[in-house]
C-alpha cells in the first residue's frame, strides 16, 4: 500500500515536467527562460505547498493530537518552525530568481501579482 501511494504521488508530481519537456529550446536565452519558467511554474508552487502542509501538520500535531503531552507539543512546534523556515527560504529563492531574471533580462512569462492600487505622481 505504501509503495502504491509513493508511486502515485511521484507520477502526479512528475506530470508537469513531462508537459514542459515538449517545449522547443533553440537558444541560450530560450533555455534560460525555460528554466525560469520551470522554477516559477512548477518547482516553487510544489515546494510552497509542501512547506504549507508541514506547517499545518505541525499545528495539528502540536495543538490537536497532543494537547496534553508537553514533549510532543514541543516537537509539533518544531515542525511548525520548519514549515515557516521553508516558507522563508522559498520566498527568498523566488525573489532571487526574479532578481536574476531582471538583471539578465530573460523573459519568464510571469508577472508578479499587484495590489490593484495605482499610484501616480501628481502633475
pLDDT, one tens digit per residue, over 20-30 is 555 565 666 67
Range of 87's domain? 43-103
The SS3 assignment for 96 reads: helix
Backbone φ and ψ for 70, nearest 5 degrees, come out as -65, -35
Residue with cell 495543538: 63
Which grid coordinates are listed for 69?
Answer: 503531552
Residue 91 within any structural domain of the chain: yes
User: Looking at residue 105, what DSSP letter applies?
Assistant: T
Domain count, the chain: 1
Residue 68 within any structural domain of the chain: yes
- What is the reported pTM? 0.52
pLDDT, one tens digit per residue, over 27-51 is 666 777 777 777 778 887 888 888 8
Residue 73 within any structural domain of the chain: yes
Round to whole Å and give the CA distance between 115 and 93: 22
Residue 97 within any structural domain of the chain: yes
Half-sphere exposure (CA, 13 Å, Cβ side) for 109? 11
Amino acid at each position: 500500500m505504501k509503495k502504491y501511494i509513493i508511486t502515485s504521488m511521484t507520477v502526479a508530481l512528475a506530470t508537469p515536467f513531462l508537459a514542459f519537456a515538449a517545449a522547443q529550446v533553440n537558444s541560450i536565452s530560450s533555455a534560460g527562460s525555460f528554466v525560469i519558467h520551470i522554477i516559477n511554474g512548477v518547482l516553487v508552487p510544489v515546494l510552497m505547498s509542501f512547506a504549507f502542509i508541514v506547517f499545518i501538520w505541525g499545528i495539528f500535531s502540536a495543538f490537536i493530537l497532543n494537547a496534553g503531552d508537553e514533549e510532543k507539543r514541543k516537537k509539533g512546534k518544531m515542525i511548525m518552525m520548519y514549515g515557516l523556515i521553508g516558507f522563508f527560504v522559498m520566498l527568498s529563492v523566488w525573489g532571487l530568481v526574479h532578481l536574476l531574471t531582471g538583471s539578465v533580462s530573460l523573459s519568464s512569462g510571469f508577472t508578479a501579482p499587484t495590489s490593484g492600487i495605482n499610484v501616480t505622481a501628481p502633475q
